[in-house]
Amino acid sequence: MKTRFLTILTLALALTFTNCKDKAQEAETTEVEQAAEVTEVSTKYVVDTEASTIMWKGFKPTGSHTGTIKLESGVFTTNDEAIESGSFLIDMKSLYVTDLAEDTEDHGKLTGHLKSPDFFDVEAFPASAFEVTGFKTENGKTMLSGNLKMKDVENNISIPVNVKENNDSLTITSETFTVDRSKWNVKYGSKSFFDDLGDKFINDDMELQITITANKA
């Protein structure tokens, strides 16, 4: 019996360690900052919304769900191969679940729930927004900072990105990172707001990965 208990405990610790190891790093979140300004020598790019997307992943004790969100519009400027300024709108009504078959009841229920006031309330807040506030290299990584507004809350985040200019196009690809949804007032199933959830909670951390393609204006 003792041996069986130790085996179960070891397995649990191994799974816990693996989950912590595999978890994407949370984006540094601070107060709103002033937007970056455009200079006369900058190059302008307009976001190609069909070629750009945001992938998301949400977690709960029994598993996870994945999906995508489309961009509504956006524009960036560069100067000497560095992002100088920019912003983009996120079409929250395009929120889509990818790990469940589209023709199943569960797909419809989860999609509707995520779009409801319990989560992102897309009828009241149909768009989220990101506005560039900074761009720099630190600890060997290129970091893009900006004010992220979701629902009625705005915070500044810094995320690691890879930026490529190729002739008339610009590609911005972020590493996978997490944001704490409770900091944007997304409350459902959050231990940050409710203390009686038991094992029925949903993790505050939500993984995101952003890929943006933009074309020279």
Q: CA 96 to CA 194: how far, in whole Å?
A: 27
pLDDT in tens, 200-210: 788 999 999 99
pLDDT(196) > 50: yes
CA dihedral 59, 20, 149, 82 (to 10 degrees): -130
N-terminal to C-terminal alpha carbon distance within the chain: 70
Q: Can you give the pLDDT at residue 174?
A: 98
CA 65, 130, 175, 139 dihedral sign is: negative
Determine the average pLDDT of the residues in 113-139: 96
Quick check: 73 pLDDT over 70?
Answer: yes
- Asked whether the beta carbons of 142 and 58 are under 8 A apart, the reply is no
The CATH number of 25-216 is 2.40.128.110
* pLDDT of residue 158 exceeding 80: yes
What pTM does this model have?
A: 0.86
Q: What are the residue boundaries of the structural domains of the chain, listed by start?
A: 25-216
Which residues on neighbouring strands pair with residue 88, listed in sequence order? 74, 130
Exposed/middle/buried for residue 35 (C-beta within 10 Å: 0-12, 13-18, 19+): middle
CA angle 82, 86, 87 (to 5 degrees): 145
How do beta strands 169-174 and 82-97 pair?
A: unpaired
Backbone φ, ψ for residue 77 (5° rounding): -125, 145
Q: What DSSP assignment string belongs to 129-146? A: EEEEEEEEEETTEEEEEE
What is the pLDDT, as a whole number, of residue 23?
66
Inform me whether the pLDDT recorded for 128 exceeds 50: yes
- How many percent of the chain have pLDDT more than 70? 89
**Segment 115-128 mean pLDDT:** 97
- Would you place residue 25 in the very low, low, confident or very high pLDDT band (cuts 50, 70, 90)? confident
Buried b (16+ CB within 10 A) or exposed e, 202-216: bbbbbbbbbebbbee
The answer, yes or no, to whether residue 173 has pLDDT greater than 80, is yes
Residues linked to residue 85 through DSSP beta bridges, in sequence order: 77
